[in-house]
Amino acid sequence: MKRIIDSILKHKKLVVIIFTAATIISFGLALLVNVNYDLQSYLPQDTPSTKSLEVMSSQFEETIFNVNIMIPDASVTDALDLKEQIKEKEYVLSVLWLDDYVDVTLPVEVLPKETTDQYYKDNNALFMVTVETDNYPPVLAELQELVGDGGHISGRLVELSMAQSATQSEISQILVYAIPVVAIVLILATHSWLEPVLMLLAIAVGIALNMGTNVFLEDISFLTQAVAAILQLAVSMDYAIFLLHRFSDYRKKYDNTEDAMRAATKDALPTLMASSITTFIGFLALVLMRFQIGPDLGIVLAKGVFFSIISVSFFLPSITILFVKWIDKTEHRSFLPSFNWLAKINFRMMPLIIIIVVVVTVPSFLGQRHNEFIYGMGAFQENSRESLDDQAVKDVYGVETQMVILVPKGQWGQEINMIQEFQTYPEVKSIMSYVTMIGPNIPPEVLSESQISSLLSEDYSRIILQVISAEEGEHAFGLIERVRETVDKYYEEDTHLVGSSVITYDMAQTIQADDIVVNGIAILAIFLTILFTFKSISVPIILVFAIELSIWINLSFPYFTQAPLNYIGYLIISTVQLGATVDYGVLYTQNYLENRQTMNKKDAFFFTVNQSAQSVIPPALILSIVGFILGAVSTIQMVSELGITLGRGATISLLMTLIFVPVAYYLFDSIVEKTTLYTKFLGKEESDEKAQ
């Protein structure tokens, strides 16, 4: 370690040049990173809906419709003309309308009402369109221009377009708001006007290296792209703060600044490594999710922690020594007050603190387990065209969705019986299939390909259920289970169920299954890391309980406020808050164990609370403020919700670290000493002798 530190400081200019060059290259590489905006593509390949979608894509030209286009006050002729204009677009794979099922040259009044009401209701023409593109906003804009101000467009294309637009435009906007706020917090936490600039520069280098190396991944999700940089800034700033605090302390002991930095780096690195490893493991636990958004986000965030610690350990000492004269010239008094008042309150309120912790533990745990969850992208921004269009379609055609069933071709008796059972479902609005549209008595061979291509393939008969149901929720998921049970009753194998609600259902099942595994492994890994770091049994129990209780309180807020919570955000925040904020407890523990060797229990309590608050409050404030900024700025509901939950969680974890953890160490002081190897606390007699 000493040789590495000596080498860094000896070649500090070269180190700065290397990191600067790597940062510039990384910025260029970051522009080449592919971003995936489709959450459904992260489902495991072995889920039923993924397999079914592959089969349908191979058997039928028409896949799942991802765009609804509604034109009000349209005649049949107008609708047919628009259909042809839509079909001419190079990104349009198929357009389905009324004329694909009935003869629209006949008067609408004589056509089957159950069919016409799906595509032509009250003179509102509704087209089911399948679009294939990777660049969603221009396609949506072109379709909106085609249908004009009176037309309405909804569906997954709109969701993906909003995600892509927001991700591309909001990252810089979020950073513009966050960086000045972070700088203000750093000014309060340091003794020089220049130190915050150096800290931000060091973390910016780590962020650039992380985002640039994403080019070596196949792609990253829009969620990762939206939150990775801001989360890396928030969770790793405490590394820079801690190192420069140590440097400031050691400058009082050494005349030579390089000697002071050498001693500070050597002293700080063990704590930095312990803190970064817990965060790294917390993020890396997401890799265990079967829903691949977890590995996507986990790898990038864990990689970000690695590059931040590399930048803080190598780049920050070098650039600090180069600018040390300017640090001295821009020195100012500390703006942070003493926190002895907090220690006094904690000491006096110990019984009440313990009672509160005991009282809130069970309700918080149960509350966060009984939240109402959503699994999709969430709602559109209020009063946006996308939101108004979506509501306009629902006002005419209701809250509907389609399910597509593939069954073996030619087994007409079973198909008729199954369809008759579906017709008894109150949610089923209409059923389109070869049996209902043409009839089993007419051989497919006598019909043209265009007449049957959407209903029959070489191997399968395709049945389209139009159901009155939302895309997700308890009722929607229950309906999917009933449909699958009915299909299984008539066919033993080789059946497939496809639809956006079916994909969301499988997404929910996959994510829920990840919950216990991911959180369990994260807790165990961080527990073991703390255990080996401090060589103690009691310390990881206290710290993990404190942070887990913080998480339970945080995630029970939606339950008690009756607000639905995005399950992806719920799962991610569990590991992110655990990994990011356990650092605060690690730092407090390090200080307490050191102080307890030279102070009695009470003095160590007061001194450590004041000492740790100075170091813990700035990074916790940064994480909390950045989270709330993310929540306020992002128009993507999932990202906004994640930011608000993270900001609230960081605040709760800070309070738990500075209020409950000190009380726990004070009350269990003798147990901590007995269960921690190579630790000898100052005894009462030794304390009395020292006082004399």
Contact present, 205 and 233 (Cβ < 8 Å): no
pLDDT at residue number 214? 95
pLDDT at residue number 684? 59
For 233-243, what is the mean pLDDT? 86
Q: pLDDT tens digit string along 508-542? A: 888 777 777 777 888 888 888 889 889 999 999 99
For 152-159, what is the mean pLDDT? 88
517/256: higher pLDDT: 256
Instruction: Give the domain-ending residue among 127, 154, 181.
Output: 154
Is 40 inside any structural domain? no
Distance CA 129, CA 252 (A): 71
pLDDT at residue number 62? 67
Is 379 inside any structural domain? no
Instruction: Note down the domain range covering 272.
Output: 1-32+169-334
pLDDT at residue number 398? 80
**Highest averaged pLDDT of the listed ranges 144-148, 499-503, 571-575, 581-585:** 144-148
For residue 658, the 8-state DSSP code is I
Residues 343 and 327 in one domain: no
For 219-227, what is the mean pLDDT? 87
Report the domain count for the chain.
Answer: 4
493/16: higher pLDDT: 16
Name every residue whose Cβ is closer than 8 Å to that of residue 276 and which is 6 or more positions away in sequence. 236, 239, 305, 306, 308, 309
Residues 498 and 539 in one domain: no
Report residue 690's pLDDT band, with 50, 70 and 90 as the boundaries: low
Is 26 inside any structural domain? yes
For 280-299, what is the mean pLDDT? 86
Distance CA 563, CA 570 (A): 13
150/171: higher pLDDT: 150
Residues 220 and 297 in one domain: yes
Residues 472 and 462 in one domain: yes
Residues 192 and 314 in one domain: yes
Is 528 inside any structural domain? no
Is 515 inside any structural domain? no
Say yes or no to pLDDT of 341 above 90.
yes
For 340-365, what is the mean pLDDT? 94
Q: pLDDT tens digit string along 432-456? A: 888 887 887 888 777 777 677 778 8
Report residue 326's pLDDT band, with 50, 70 and 90 as the boundaries: very high
Residues 341 and 441 in one domain: no
Is 159 inside any structural domain? no
CATH code where residue 9 lies: 1.20.1640.10
What is the SS3 assignment for 144?
Answer: helix
Q: Alpha helices of 349-411 — where are they, by DSSP H?
A: 350-369, 385-397
Which of 193-202, 245-254, 574-583, 598-607 has the weakest average pLDDT?
574-583
Residues 254 and 271 in one domain: yes
Report residue 687's pLDDT band, with 50, 70 and 90 as the boundaries: low
Report residue 312's pLDDT band, with 50, 70 and 90 as the boundaries: very high
pLDDT at residue number 671? 94
Residues 241 and 346 in one domain: no
pLDDT at residue number 202? 95
Instruction: Give the domain-ending residue among 334, 358, 378.
Output: 334
For 572-589, what is the mean pLDDT? 81
Contact present, 595 and 679 (Cβ < 8 Å): no
Q: pLDDT tens digit string along 590-626? A: 889 999 999 999 999 999 999 889 888 988 898 899 8
Residues 420 and 301 in one domain: no
Q: What is the largest CA-CA distance in the chain?
A: 109
CATH code where residue 460 lies: 3.30.70.1380
Report residue 378's pLDDT band, with 50, 70 and 90 as the boundaries: low
Report residue 689's pLDDT band, with 50, 70 and 90 as the boundaries: low
Q: What is the mean pLDDT of the chain?
A: 87
Is 314 inside any structural domain? yes
pLDDT at residue number 215? 94
Residues 145 and 222 in one domain: no
Is 56 inside any structural domain? no
What share of the chain has pLDDT > 90, as a percent?
34
Residues 204 and 260 in one domain: yes
pLDDT at residue number 344? 94
Give the closest residue to 646 by CA, choosing from 549, 555, 542: 555
Instruction: Give the domain-ending residue among 484, 505, 526.
Output: 505
Residues 215 and 346 in one domain: no
Q: pLDDT tens digit string along 2-14? A: 788 888 888 899 9
pLDDT at residue number 16? 94
Report residue 546's pLDDT band, with 50, 70 and 90 as the boundaries: very high
Question: Which CA distances in Å does 229 have to 30, 69, 93, 133, 575?
Answer: 12, 37, 36, 27, 17
CA 453 from centroid of its chain's CA atoms: 41
Q: What is the dihedral of CA 472, 474, 475, 481, to 10 degrees?
A: 90
Report residue 50's pLDDT band, with 50, 70 and 90 as the boundaries: confident
Distance CA 636, CA 167 (A): 8
